[in-house]
């Protein structure tokens, strides 16, 4: 029976990915049906499925809180105003607009989770693209590439990076010294590819800037108070977990959302019902279901089975193992959202190291706070780069991709799997190649 459950879990996962890739049905429906199939086939109980969703509450709470926060201030027209200012600062030139998106996204994503940054900045893109007369979908895709890549600049820039870093107990400073350069190279790779990937926008030029619409900010007093709420949220995103009484980013986002709802309701700029109605529930449901499907793979032993195969293939060769792991995790991350992927891969890699005798059984205990032997760390570094950069490959590869797709759909345009693939595959391949070169030179030679 257990073997049948493993086959069902693996087949369901593959079927969901195929349905998403072929776009036969909406990606949220595909994931929803896949999660329910595991329940109805008794691979897991409904209680267990809800438990897997509960384990992912930090991600879901963070997304929900920021979605509400952004939507609550939409009536002030702040996003339309900022979009117009960006076009003016770019002097109507497409190449400056593209490079401006890189310049704004990169430093923010170095300190905030990339999906959070996309939720904060992506609402600027559609009105800005409309004013300059270009399709906003490529601009959103560029923002996603930069956000995912910039997440490697610091330990806290990407949830996947943080999960791996926490597993090996690397400090923020050590991360900057050892791994940040790889993130900078990843961003530089995107920048070098921009003129070729987005050539039509790169050569676009808007002559009559004076004819641009100049939206005025509504409810300036409300916006001023909202600015304090946003500043509070951003500050505590960065410092909250280092306080004597730690405050998680999820809790900060939810508090920010509650304060934004209170402000919107009290000032009567919008109703609570309208704000909550416009939350991207489709994206939230997709993540819930993906966590259930990954949970099915873990419960049925599919993940442990892969660990055994890994030990057989790699043996004790760290150099070969690091490079193969970077490519393998990168390709896998292009079809599996990287957060649940690294959650599954970290214990798998630890088990592999125990199996081949590099480390003792104590690394498998929850809350292990010791240090790994330096010679095995390149394996974790490779997984970190692969999981983050592989997410640029396809629409479902990273949480920020899904968030951008949801925002695009809210503005009347759907980012198809095939269209994202056209941009994503070249970027992913080039970034994995440069990451492999960096890991080899920096850690393996």
- Of 327 and 352, the one with more pLDDT: 327
Are the CB atoms for 354 and 338 separated by under 8 Å? no
Q: How many CA atoms lie within 13 A of 122 on its CB side?
A: 32
Residue 84 has pLDDT above 80, yes or no: no
pLDDT band at 2 (very low <50, low <70, confident <90, very high): low
Q: Which residue has the tokens 């600062």?
A: 89
Residue 376 has pLDDT above 80, yes or no: yes
H or E segment and range at residue 421 = helix 417-439
Residue 224 has pLDDT above 60, yes or no: yes
Cβ contacts of 148 within 8 Å, gap of 6 or more: 114, 158, 388, 389, 391, 392, 398, 400, 401
Cβ contacts of 433 within 8 Å, gap of 6 or more: none
Q: Which two tokens stand for residue 320?
A: 């070969």
Output the average pLDDT for the chain: 84
Cross-strand bridge partners of residue 93: 205
CA pair distance 181, 175, nearest whole angstrom: 10
- Of 336 and 24, the one with more pLDDT: 24
Q: What is the pLDDT of residues 231-280, one digit of tens each?
A: 888 788 777 777 888 887 788 889 999 999 999 999 988 899 999 988 88
Q: What is the pLDDT of residues 150-205, one digit of tens each?
A: 989 987 777 788 778 877 888 777 888 889 999 999 999 999 999 999 998 888 87
DSSP 153: S
- As to burial, measured by CB atoms within 10 angstroms (0-12 exposed, 13-18 middle, 19+ buried), residue 425 is middle
Cβ contacts of 325 within 8 Å, gap of 6 or more: 310, 314, 349, 379, 382, 383, 386
Which ranges of 23-56 would DSSP assign to H, the alpha helix? Answer: 27-40, 46-55
CA pair distance 173, 180, nearest whole angstrom: 10
Q: By percentage, how much of the chain surpasses pLDDT 70?
A: 93
CA pair distance 345, 144, nearest whole angstrom: 23
Written as one string, the DSSP assignment of 252-298 is HHHHHHHHHHHHHHHHTSS-HHHHHHTS-HHHHHHHHHHHHHHHHHH
Q: Which residue has the tokens 């086959």?
A: 7
Are the CB atoms for 289 and 38 separated by under 8 Å? no
DSSP 443: I
pLDDT of 185 reads: 96
Residue 133 has pLDDT above 90, yes or no: no
Q: What is the pLDDT of residues 316-333, one digit of tens each?
A: 788 888 898 899 889 988
| Domain extent listing, the chain | 59-147+198-281
> Would the pTM count as exceeding 0.75?
yes
- Of 134 and 391, the one with more pLDDT: 391
Q: What is the pLDDT of residues 28-54, one digit of tens each?
A: 899 899 999 999 998 999 999 998 888
Q: Which two tokens stand for residue 386?
A: 């692969």
Residue 207 has pLDDT above 70, yes or no: no
CA pair distance 237, 9, nearest whole angstrom: 36
Q: Which two tokens stand for residue 87?
A: 């076009």
CA pair distance 272, 258, nearest whole angstrom: 10
Are the CB atoms for 210 and 91 separated by under 8 Å? no
CA pair distance 201, 205, nearest whole angstrom: 8
Give the SS3 label for residue 205.
strand
- As to burial, measured by CB atoms within 10 angstroms (0-12 exposed, 13-18 middle, 19+ buried), residue 202 is middle
pLDDT of 208 reads: 61
Written as one string, the DSSP assignment of 225-256 is HHHHHHHHHHHHHHHGGGSSS---HHHHHHHH
pLDDT of 192 reads: 96
Residue 214 has pLDDT above 70, yes or no: no
């Amino acid at each position: 029976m257990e073997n049948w459950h493993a086959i069902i879990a693996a087949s369901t996962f593959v079927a969901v990915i195929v349905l998403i890739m072929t776009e036969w049905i909406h990606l949220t429906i595909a994931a929803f049906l896949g999660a329910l199939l595991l329940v109805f086939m008794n691979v897991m109980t409904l209680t267990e499925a809800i438990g897997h969703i509960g384990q992912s509450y930090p991600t879901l709470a963070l997304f929900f809180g920021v979605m509400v926060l952004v939507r609550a201030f939409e009536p002030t027209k702040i996003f339309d105003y900022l979009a117009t200012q960006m076009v003016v600062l770019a002097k109507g030139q497409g190449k400056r607009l593209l490079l401006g998106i890189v310049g704004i996204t990169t430093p923010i994503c170095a300190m905030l989770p990339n999906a959070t940054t996309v939720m904060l900045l992506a609402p600027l893109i559609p009105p800005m693209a409309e004013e300059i007369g270009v399709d906003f979908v490529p601009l959103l895709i560029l923002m996603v590439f930069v956000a995912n890549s910039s997440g490697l600049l610091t330990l806290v820039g990407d949830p996947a990076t943080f999960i791996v870093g926490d597993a090996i107990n690397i400090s923020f400073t050590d991360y900057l010294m050892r791994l940040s350069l790889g993130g900078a190279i990843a961003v530089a790779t995107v920048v070098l590819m921009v003129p070729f990937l987005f050539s039509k926008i790169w050569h676009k030029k808007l002559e009559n800037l004076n004819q641009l619409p100049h939206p005025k900010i509504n409810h300036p007093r409300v916006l001023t108070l909202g600015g304090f709420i946003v500043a509070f949220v951003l500050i505590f995103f960065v410092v909250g977990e280092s306080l004597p009484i730690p405050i998680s980013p999820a809790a900060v986002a939810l508090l920010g959302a509650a304060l934004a709802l209170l402000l919107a309701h009290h000032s009567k700029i919008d109703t609570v019902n309208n704000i909550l109605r416009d939350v991207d529930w489709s994206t939230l449901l997709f993540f819930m279901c993906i966590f259930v499907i990954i949970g099915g793979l873990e419960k049925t032993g599919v993940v442990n089975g892969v660990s055994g195969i890994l030990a057989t293939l790699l043996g004790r060769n760290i150099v070969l193992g690091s490079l193969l792991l970077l490519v393998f995790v990168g390709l896998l991350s292009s079809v599996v959202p990287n957060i649940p992927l690294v959650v599954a891969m970290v214990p798998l890699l630890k088990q592999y190291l125990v199996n081949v005798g590099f480390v003792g059984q104590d690394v498998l205990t929850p809350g292990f706070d010791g240090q790994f032997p330096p010679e095995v760390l390149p394996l974790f570094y490779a997984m970190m780069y692969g999981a983050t950069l592989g997410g640029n490959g396809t629409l479902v590869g990273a949480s920020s991709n899904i968030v951008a797709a949801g925002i695009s759909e809210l503005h009347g345009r759907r980012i198809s799997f095939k269209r994202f693939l056209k941009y994503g595959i070249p970027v992913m391949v080039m970034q994995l190649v440069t990451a492999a070169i960096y890991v080899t030179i920096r850690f393996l030679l």
